[in-house]
Amino acid sequence: MSDPTSQANYTDIYTQHVSFKWNIDFPNKKITGSATHDLRVSKDQVAEVIFDTADLDIESVEVEGKSVAYEVKPKHPIMGAALHIPLPSGLKSGSLVKATITYQTTKDCTALQWLAKEQTQGKSFPYLFSQCQPIYARSMAPVQDSPSVKIVTSVLPALMSAIRQSPPSDGPAHDWKGNVVYRPFPRHEGKEWTSGIWAEPELIEAAYWEFISWQSAEEIVVPYRFGVYDLLVLPPSFPYGGMENACLTFLTPTLLAGDRTLVDVIAHELTHSWFGNGVTHAHASHFWLNEGWTTYIERLLLQVIHSPADRGFSYIIGFKGLQDALEQYIDRPKYQRLVIEFEKGEDPDDAYSRIPYDKGANLLLHLERTLGGLDVFLPYVRDYVSTFMGKSITTQQWKEHLYAYYDKHGGAERITALDSIDWDAWFYGEGVELPVKMEYDSTLAESSYELAKRWDSARAVEISRLEFTENDLDKFSSTQKVVFLERLQSYKPLPSSHVEYLASLYKVSNTHNAEIRLRFYQFSLADPSSPAAKKYAVEAADWVIGGGTGMVVGRMKFCRDVFRAVYKVDKELAVNAFQKEKNSFHPIARKLIEKVFVGRI
């Protein structure tokens, strides 16, 4: 099956390299310039190349240096407008042809967010960043916008996802007219690659301190192949926790908790260098191959670096997010599947949730256990990466490789183990339960569970007689506080008086740790009719819109869930808060938040 989200004919002719010549027009918020594609023919007599575009203004097209007539087809609401370009006749498979498209972006470009200087930490320069996953590169440039097409090289005088030519990673940064600075991390012993942190000057010290302790996945998988691994802390409107751009991971500033408790995101994004940027899903239906594998390895790193208990604890936290996501799609069970057979032109963002991450990671954990543990499974992981590095594959290709490996390296015993797995239930099963009941090491969660149980048992006790103190959380890590608040959500909502007392006692309603703050709002807004929910809905809405500063909490994990919770408490409050700072959110976040208010916006 070809990519259901693309109109490009990449199976007939595909982009091998592309070079961009761009003028970044900040006053008019657009990019003008050209994209030159080196195209490799894979089908004899191919007559045209088709590129994906979305809201681009195409000015001219040249093929092999000669101007040609082209056609931009009517716009599809999800996939955009297909750009058809005729090719010279008689092309043979394997031959190369060059096409140059001159164009400019428009105000409807989903991939770009143009920030006014007031929306940055330094408030001195405007800021531009791009976010192209899953299908938004086509709004920034005419491309074959599918993960099945890998464009391998580009060099720009900009901070971007590419092999860095200048400046050297151990040298000074460019003296550009911007407000982003670089600081190298100490070189890892025995590593052939380098790493550093980019941020606005106002954040560079905090970011360097926060992220200097992150670790490599090389000891689990195979050597890192991209030469440089840098981190870039973006302004607060960035819609994701991290984005695994090759060589340059984009990060949200919500990770700057001040206690290094959220650096697991770095492990996750680095792991994408093998699973996602290395071995890539063929198209959106197989997105779990990126995120499920990455989440599984990220949690395995916690066991290697810390302990098995830390690995189990991460699965416990992830399972709560998985349950919430499965419940969210109870009316759209198709999106509860691990492998989603998207219709042609269906929006993959409608299915974006924790499901491919956590259902996928649980499948792999189940597979590890079924096959006999890490000693049996890790050699397969390394073979999987080595076999498919640089390729884009489907779930079926992965499964066939899995069986072939264990047929060769395990024989009948391993094949019998694989046959015991209910593959259809994992890939295509719907509902709010996993195909098997998963057990995790709950050692680190027990204290959180116990404190939550005490609060539940004290719901009928007068506030003046409650036996809780502000020291209850002193020995809790940030993640244990998260699990405590999540566990509370599994009980009937506490009385408003108890919710407000808990917030005051533990200071969880104004913490700088966004993960804790999100869980508090989810807990306090659980009973939409309660006075506490009315009170904290106002605080929650104000938090995600940045208190009117334009510095919104744009990470969708937070803003989307908070708007969803606030909307259940006070629809007018949620809509009005969003409308107030609507244009401060990234276009992707804006689109998905609006879907929370279906029928209102």
Rounded Cα distance between 158 and 169, Å, is 14
Which amino acid, one-letter code, is at 49?
A: V
Binding site annotation covers 79? no
According to DSSP, the residues that pair with 181 across neighbouring strands are 199
Binding site annotation covers 132? yes
Binding site annotation covers 400? no
Rounded Cα distance between 466 and 499, Å, is 12
Point out the catalytic residue in the list 357, 380, 440, 521: 357
**CB within 8 A of 306, min separation 6: which ones?**
none
Neighbours of 213 (CB within 10 A): 11
**CB within 8 A of 277, min separation 6: which ones?**
226, 244, 246
Rounded Cα distance between 199 and 525, Å, is 34
8 Å CB contact between 247 and 198: no
Binding site annotation covers 241? yes
Binding site annotation covers 568? no
Is 192 part of the annotated catalytic residue set?
no
Is 269 part of the annotated catalytic residue set?
yes
Rounded Cα distance between 146 and 478, Å, is 38
φ/ψ of residue 529, rounded to 5? -90, -5
Could you tell me the two tokens for 32? 């003008």
Could you tell me the two tokens for 557? 């994990």
Rounded Cα distance between 578 and 585, Å, is 9
Binding site annotation covers 536? no
Could you tell me the two tokens for 192? 């052939």
Binding site annotation covers 244? yes
**CB within 8 A of 468, min separation 6: which ones?**
454, 455, 458, 502, 505
SS3 assignment, position 342: coil
Rounded Cα distance between 33 and 53, Å, is 15
Rounded Cα distance between 141 and 177, Å, is 24
Binding site annotation covers 586? no
Binding site annotation covers 37? no
8 Å CB contact between 187 and 229: no
Binding site annotation covers 429? no
| Total residue length of the chain | 601
| Alpha helix ranges (H) inside 179-286 | 201-211, 264-271
Could you tell me the two tokens for 24? 């970044």
Q: Is 29 left (phi over 0), alpha (psi -120 to 50) or beta?
A: left
Rounded Cα distance between 359 and 356, Å, is 6
* Residue 299: its H or E element: helix 288-305
Q: How many CA atoms lie within 13 A of 221 on its CB side?
A: 28
Residue owning tokens 């098997």: 436
Rounded Cα distance between 377 and 367, Å, is 8
Binding site annotation covers 243? yes
Rounded Cα distance between 438 and 314, Å, is 13
Q: What is the DSSP letter of 177?
A: S
8 Å CB contact between 117 and 124: yes
Which amino acid, one-letter code, is at 131?
A: Q
Point out the catalytic residue in the list 200, 269, 298, 486: 269
**CB within 8 A of 241, min separation 6: which ones?**
251, 252, 254, 255, 265, 268, 555, 557
Q: Which residues are catalytic?
A: 269, 357
Q: Can you say which residues are annotated as belonging to the binding site?
A: 131-133, 239-244, 268, 272, 291, 555-557
Q: Can you say which residues are annotated as belonging to the binding site for Zn(2+)?
A: 268, 272, 291
Q: Can you say which residues are annotated as belonging to the binding site for a peptide?
A: 131-133, 239-244, 555-557
